[in-house]
C-alpha cells in the first residue's frame, strides 16, 4: 500500500522569480495560487509533515498558505541557491527526529504534477530497493523526487548552489526513474504562465 510508510515533503518556494518579473509562487492558478496548489497536491498524496521553504517576499508566501497545515521554514540564505532550501527543510526534519521513511522534494512551480503522480511515486518507492525515485522527463531525471531516509544526511548538507539533481547523479545512489512528462512544464517566464492559462 502507498501509505505503509510515512513520507515527508519539502516544497521549495524561496526564489525571487527574476525571469518572471513577479513572485510566481503567488500567481493565480485554478482559483488558488501556485504555491497553494503545490501544497494541496502534497497533502493529497498524504505526505506528512509538509514543509514550505520560504525566502523572497516570505511574508506574502506565508500568507498564501497560512490556512494550510504546513510547517513554514525561513531560509535566510535563499539567494545562495536551491540547495540551501533543500538543506534547510531536511535539517528541520532531522532536528525533530521525524519518523518519515523518505522525503519528497517538490517545486512550487510545476502545476501539472498532481497528487496522483506523487502517490504513484510513493508506491514505487516502497516496491523497489532504490535509494530514490525521480521524475523522468525531457531525457533527464529531476524533481519531484523522493529520497529514502538513508539520504537525509546528504540532503541536509547539499551545496547551496546545487539542487537535488546532483544527488540523483551521484555514484552509489541508486535511482528508479518514474516517467512524468508533466514535470517538464514549470513556470519561469511570463510566456510559460500564458501557456498555462491557455
Q: Which residues contact 142 (CB under 8 A, 6 or more apart)?
A: 134, 135, 164, 165, 168, 183
Q: Any alpha helices (H) in 103-163, and if so which ranges?
A: 115-127, 152-155
Contacts of 99 (CB under 8 A, 6+ apart): 6
Residue 10 DSSP SS3: strand
Cα 24 to the chain's mean position, in Å? Answer: 15
d(CA 97, CA 161): 26
Task: Give percent of the chain above pLDDT 70.
Answer: 98
Range of lowest pLDDT (40-44, 178-182, 191-195): 191-195
| 55 pLDDT more than 70 | yes
Helix axes 115-127, 34-44, angle to 10 degrees: 40
**Taking residues 125-144, what's their average pLDDT?**
95
Residue in this structure with the C-alpha cell 498532481, named with its chain if needed: 114
Does residue 2 have a pLDDT over 50?
no
Average of per-residue pLDDT values in the chain: 92
Span 87-106, average pLDDT: 93
Section 66-90 average pLDDT: 93
**Residue 4: its pLDDT value, please?**
65
The alpha carbon dihedral of 176, 135, 100, 84 has a sign of: positive
Other Cβ atoms less than 10 A from the Cβ of 47: the count is: 27
CATH number for the domain running over 7-197 = 3.90.550.10
- pLDDT of residue 162 exceeding 90, the answer is no
In the chain, what are the domain boundaries?
7-197
68 and 39 Cβ atoms separated by less than 8 Å: yes
Q: How confident is the model at residue 154 (pLDDT cuts 50, 70, 90)?
A: very high
Residue 1 has pLDDT above 70, yes or no: no
Report the pLDDT averaged over residues 103-122: 96
Amino acid at each position: 500500500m502507498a501509505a505503509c510508510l510515512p513520507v515527508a515533503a519539502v516544497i521549495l518556494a524561496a526564489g525571487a522569480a527574476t525571469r518572471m518579473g513577479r513572485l510566481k509562487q503567488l500567481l493565480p492558478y485554478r482559483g488558488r495560487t501556485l504555491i497553494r496548489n503545490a501544497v494541496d497536491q502534497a497533502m493529497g498524496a498524504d505526505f506528512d509533515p509538509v514543509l514550505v521553504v520560504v525566502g523572497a517576499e516570505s511574508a506574502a508566501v506565508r500568507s498564501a498558505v497560512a490556512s494550510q497545515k504546513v510547517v513554514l521554514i525561513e531560509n535566510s540564505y535563499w539567494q545562495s541557491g536551491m540547495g540551501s532550501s533543500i538543506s534547510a527543510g531536511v535539517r528541520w526534519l532531522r532536528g525533530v527526529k521525524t519518523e518519515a521513511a523518505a522525503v519528497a522534494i517538490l517545486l512550487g512551480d510545476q502545476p501539472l504534477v498532481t497528487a496522483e503522480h506523487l502517490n504513484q511515486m510513493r508506491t514505487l518507492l516502497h516496491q523497489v530497493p532504490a535509494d530514490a525515485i525521480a521524475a523522468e522527463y525531457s531525457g533527464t531525471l529531476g524533481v519531484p523526487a523522493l529520497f529514502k531516509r538513508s539520504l537525509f544526511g546528504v540532503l541536509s548538507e547539499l551545496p547551496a548552489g546545487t539542487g537535488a539533481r546532483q544527488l540523483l547523479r551521484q555514484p552509489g545512489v541508486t535511482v528508479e526513474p518514474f516517467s512524468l512528462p508533466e514535470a517538464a512544464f514549470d513556470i519561469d517566464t511570463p510566456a510559460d504562465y500564458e501557456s498555462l492559462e491557455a
